[in-house]
Structure 1
Amino acid sequence: MKIAVIIPARGGSKGLPGKNIRDLGGRPLIAHSIDQAARSELVTDIFVSTDCPKIKQISELAGATVVLRPDSLSGDTCSSESALLHCLDVLSKNDLTFDLIVFLQCTSPIRKTDDIDNAIKHIVMEKSDSLLSVIPNHRFLWRFTQDGAESINYDYLHRPRRQDMSLQYQENGSIYIFKPWVLQTTSNRLGGKISMFVMDEMSAIDIDSEFDFKLAESVLQRL
């Protein structure tokens, strides 16, 4: 199988300017995802979609092929799907086609060495069309309504023990895998038969603040 990793990484970030190339544990943030993809035994190609010359330079030094995306697909309101679709279109025009696309978010850098390969094996084994990575969720969830607070995933009048709750899963944003047709026909990373790949809770760290950076650094040091 031909399997490509695509890592979208735009230059702009209002919350943390330059976060995709900021140093994390001695390496630029985006380099962690590129390195993890490079260590995969199943991934055949690694691409970074970006609008930023500095990200381009760092990504190429780390071993990825860069697909430059236009400014129209690099704003705050642009979806990851739009960058992925553009990247697939560029690759197709260069006669590059793939059986599976692995979409990695570089702001989720905490992955075990074999997470990517195990996720690929999982989608193949289940004969699914797309996959998302998740972590187990044992939290009691609430929401605001016009009539006041409302419990979502349990009955507060009959509070269960956490271990007795039905098992639920939280999307962690780390790994998505899909067949190209899923994205091309639905403009969504998920579609068709969907599988879930369960990861450790630490994988849910999504870097969007100074606290997230400190937390990720602490976990990387422990690993």
Structure 2
Amino acid sequence: MTVPASPRVLAVIPARGGSKGVPGKNLAEVAGVPLVVRAVRACRGAATVTDVVVSTDAEPIAEAARAAGAAVIPRPAALSGDTASSEAAVLHALDAFEELHSLTVDVVLLVQCTSPFLTSGDVESVAAAVATGAADSALTVAPFHGFLWRETADGTGGTGVNHDKSVRPRRQDRPRDLLETGAAYAMDAAGFRGARHRFFGRTLPVPTDPARVLEIDDPHDLARARLLAPLFTSPEHPHAPNEGPQLP
């Protein structure tokens, strides 16, 4: 992968109108700010990101995105159903953006609205990892020290996933696992087109604050986000909730 001195870095925020878990989810407010707007702000605050687009099939989401400073790529119906992948939406937005502006994107990001506490620093970290040539793809992760279990196929028991159940080491003696946060991904644009998947080549996990890890998939997640939001809101910048203090 050869990265130009001043790479074009496009952040794509998929935000379709339909959502079964939380109706109207991408316009749901956390600390008074719609989720799609929070994602746009996080991307616009990242120094390496040169362009921010929202891929949507819903005009209310498009209006909110434009008001927040993002461009909008209309998403076709074929890519707006429940089975449509995020990769497909990003590929479509990437192609549409390049055709519209007659330019070549070097690095493309997938940024999810469903992670309300994503910061500009997080976006910058994954974007810079690829833009500097340190990786072909990158993702936000959080340190994880838990013991994972999986139910057996017959449902009669369980087995350890990241540990041997017969050995119980101390936390400090275990290797650190990393939990994919689902918030932000960065990919070399040419490599992404070839792989048609967000992970390829050298993939770099970028650690983020585990206290901020929350994905909104159902109403309970949204309620928790609204309760937690004051902890991540800087008193000096009450309208920029993504940039609050890091918890100890």
Band of TM-score, shorter chain: over 0.9
Does the 8 A contact of 2:10 with 2:50 survive in 1? yes
Q: How many residues align?
A: 223
TM-score, with normalisation over the residues of structure 1? 0.94
Instruction: Indicate whether 1:179 and 2:188 are aligned.
Output: yes
* Shift, 1:80, TM fit: 0.3
1:61-100 to structure 2, matched below 5 A, reads: 61-94=67-100, 95-100=102-107
| C-alpha deviation, 1:23, in angstroms | 1.6
- What is the alpha-carbon root mean square deviation over aligned residues? 1.5
Measured after TM superposition, the shift of residue 203 of structure 1 is 3.1
TM-score, normalising length from structure 2? Answer: 0.85
Secondary structure at the counterpart of residue 60 of structure 1: helix
Residue in 1 that maps onto 2:115:
108
Alignment of 1:10 with 2:19, yes or no, is: no
3-state SS in 2 of match to 1:143: strand
Shift of 1:65: 0.4
| Cα distance, 1:218 vs structure 2 | 2.6
Q: Is the 8 A contact 1:7 1:49 kept in 2?
A: yes
- Aligned partners of 1:178 and 1:189 also within 8 Å: yes
For 2:222, the equivalent position in structure 1 comes to 213
Runs of 4+ in 1 over 3 A off after TM superposition: 122-126
Q: How does 1:55-204 map to 2 (within 5 A)?
A: 55-94=61-100, 95-124=102-131, 127-146=134-153, 148-204=157-213
Cα distance in structure 1, aligned partners of 2:218 and 2:115: 12
Distance 1:170-1:180 versus aligned 2 partners, 3 A rule: same
The separation in 2 between residues aligned to 1:73 and 1:124, in whole angstroms, is: 28
Contact 2:12 2:90 in 1 (8 A): yes
Match of 1:26 in 2: 32
Shift of 1:161: 1.4
**Post-superposition offset of 1:71:** 0.7
Offset of 1:184 from its aligned partner? 0.9
Structure 2 spans left out of the alignment, 5+ residues: 1-6, 233-248
Report percent identity of matched pairs.
37
Give, as a single letter, the amino acid of the residue that structure 1 aligns with 2:168. Answer: R
